């Protein structure tokens, strides 16, 4: 099986054959499927297990009492949600599938097996530090960037992350986000998202057709978005841990 978690972690450090075996076992326990737009996890529930996304996209969201909804983050294949989440009594947010989704629920005990593997543990730490950095960058995005920059920045981030697990296609990638989702993720209305995408299309920076997003000139888009990829920590920072086999 093609394990996107391995692919992602190897952006940090090269894993050994036995490391990969362990991660493959991890990713084959408790596999579940869910159709699009269904909740995997609901706010208020007791957390059950660690979820690992294998195929398809998902998103974290939170609703306000009056019905407003904010998408807090996107989960791509290879993404883990909330290591050690079972320490909490109840979830403070929900997670839903964006597409038909294949994921696995890793029980606490199973997960603790990988604790024996220092290289994997460090790679997982790297991953959660990056996840935290992404959340911080969303704060910056929502707080400081205007509509055009904000949408552009999100597109850049998704492209780099998708490329990290090898699911891109040169200058384009499959992106199942609707304009309404984009609105909920960027804190704008869908009307304004629509107009902003038209502006990007008009400038020749992004061609979003259906679920395929093409970026003819990534450099130009990054510049417009004030996108600095440093927060994704993609420069093989754990190279000194590389396995030799």
Partner DNA sequence: CGTGCCGTTGACGATATTCAAGTGCAGTGG
Partner DNA sequence: CCACTGCACTTGAATATCGTCAACGGCACG
Question: Phi-psi category of 211—alpha, beta or left, where left has phi over 0 and alpha has psi -120 to 50?
Answer: alpha
Structure tokens at 177: 């986000």
Strand order in the sheet with 58-63: 39-41, 94-97, 58-63, 69-75
Name beta bridge partners: 70. Answer: 62
CB of 189 to DNA, least distance (A): 4
Binding-site partner at residue 24 among a second copy, DNA, none, CB < 5 to 8 Å by type? none
C-alpha 15, offset from chain centre: 21
Contact flag: residue 35 with DNA (CB under 7 A)? no
- The smaller minimum CB distance to a second copy, of residues 91 and 218, is found at 91
The contact pattern for DNA, residues 130-159, with x = CB under 7 A and - = no contact, is ----------------xxx-----------
Give the Cβ contact number of residue 166 at 10 Å.
12
Q: Which residues make up the interface to a second copy (CB under 8 A)?
A: 43-44, 60, 62, 64-66, 68-70, 72-73, 82, 84-85, 87-90, 92-93, 122, 125-126, 129, 132-133, 135-140, 142-145, 184-187, 226, 228, 230-231, 233, 235, 237-238
72, 187, 217, 234: residue in contact with DNA (rule CB under 7 A): 187
223 binding DNA? (CB under 7 A): no
- Cα–Cα dist 137/131, whole Å: 10
Q: Which of 197, 144, 173 is nearest to 189 (CA)?
A: 197
179 touches DNA (CB under 7 A):
yes
Site membership for DNA, residue 232 (CB under 7 A): no
What is the helix (H) or strand (E) element at residue 174, kind and residue range? strand 172-174
230 binds, among a second copy, DNA, none (CB under 5 to 8 A by kind): a second copy
């Amino acid at each position: 099986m093609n394990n996107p978690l391995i692919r992602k972690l190897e952006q940090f450090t090269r894993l050994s054959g036995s490391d990969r075996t362990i991660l493959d076992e991890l990713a084959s326990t408790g596999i579940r499927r869910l159709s699009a737009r269904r909740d995997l996890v609901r706010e208020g529930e007791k957390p059950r297990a660690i979820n690992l996304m294998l195929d398809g996209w998902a998103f974290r969201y939170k609703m306000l009492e009056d019905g407003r909804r904010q998408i807090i983050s996107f989960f791509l294949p290879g993404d883990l949600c909330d290591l050690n989440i079972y320490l909490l009594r109840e979830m403070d947010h929900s997670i839903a599938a964006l597409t038909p989704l294949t994921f696995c629920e890793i029980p606490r005990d199973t997960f603790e097996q990988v604790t024996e593997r220092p290289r994997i543990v460090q790679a997982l730490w790297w991953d959660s530090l990056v996840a935290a950095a992404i959340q911080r960058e969303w704060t910056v995005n929502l707080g400081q960037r205007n509509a055009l920059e904000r949408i552009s920045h999100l597109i850049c981030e998704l492209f780099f992350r998708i490329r990290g697990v090898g699911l891109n296609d040169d200058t384009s990638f499959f992106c199942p986000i609707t304009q309404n989702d984009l609105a909920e993720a960027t804190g704008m209305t869908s009307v304004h998202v629509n107009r902003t995408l038209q502006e990007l299309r008009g400038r020749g920076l992004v061609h979003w057709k259906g679920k395929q997003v093409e970026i003819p000139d990534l450099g130009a888009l990054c510049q417009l978005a004030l996108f600095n990829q440093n927060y994704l920590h993609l420069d093989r920072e754990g190279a000194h841990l590389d396995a030799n086999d």
